[in-house]
Structure 1
């Protein structure tokens, strides 16, 4: 037996029965929930507790920098980015469900909901730049953003787990 065969015999390359896929899924969604517009959410809680102190100023500065960065990317490459992301999702969906490639299904089930979070980030950045960038309005916007991201993550994990269990029940291991 060659090296390639022995590696693939030891490591199950089917995505939904692989422990690493589920670890990646958990890390992706916990990171998306913790980092709101590139800012760790514990900074929001600290800024609320300081009630206008240095922590609040740091939060406002960091959110302003990240919102400006997100909006710059959208203005400069928005159309190209939308086309590339749409093409990627279409390719993964076709490979996954038309051609039956399980890895493409797994990538799609990770990438598509994260794209929704990306669209949410664009909308939140725009609102922050249009006047919700300070004080209570900023804290509220970041809290709403985090709650919606968590909702998307919960639905995504449920659908992925359901589909993964179905795939594991259907797929026959030789």
Structure 2
């Protein structure tokens, strides 16, 4: 058995039958739900409960992260949009036209996360425009987290359906 056969047997390029793919999917959505605009959500809850310095820290952290996100969007947003659309289109065509399962898996991971990126950009613009602080900021972050979670639930559902379809239709032997 060659080195490459060993590696591909360990990794298993059939993504939807691979446990690592499903672990990566769960970790990705768990992290996306926990980190709201780069701020851990438990910090939002602690600021709501305790206020004071924790709330000031939350506002500072949100201000830093929203300014950073909006700066990146203003400086290189068009290039990032073009590159993201190119990559997602390439993955979509490879995955669903040419039936490359690995590309399907990457598309089903990447497309919803690009939506989360757009939701984050929109929320950052709203926070900066409104100059949100205190309860208004916490409500905005909670709403953002809810939108990310709804996107995640739909994404996991669609990915699970597609993965089951792939596993049942293609089968373990590839045909």
- Relative to structure 1, the CA distance from residue 10 to residue 119 in structure 2 (aligned partners, 3 Å threshold; closer, same or farther) is closer
TM-score normalised by L of structure 1: 0.96
Residues in 2 aligned to 1:82 and 1:140: alpha-carbon distance in whole angstroms: 28
Pairs aligned (count): 173
Q: CA deviation at 1:170?
A: 1.0
Matched, 1:107 2:106: yes
Residues in 1 aligned to 2:64 and 2:2: alpha-carbon distance in whole angstroms: 52
Unaligned runs of 5+ in 1: none
RMSD: 1.1
Q: CA deviation at 1:132?
A: 4.2
Range moving further from structure 2, 126-135 or 103-112: 126-135
- Relative to structure 1, the CA distance from residue 9 to residue 78 in structure 2 (aligned partners, 3 Å threshold; closer, same or farther) is closer
TM-score normalised by L of structure 2: 0.95
| 2:171 match | 172
1:109-128 map, 5 Å: 109-128=108-127
Native 8 Å contact 1:132 1:141 kept in 2: no
Residues in 2 aligned to 1:93 and 1:45: alpha-carbon distance in whole angstroms: 38
Q: Deviations over 1:19-77 (max 9, x none)?
A: 000000000000000000000000000101113x0000000000000000000011001
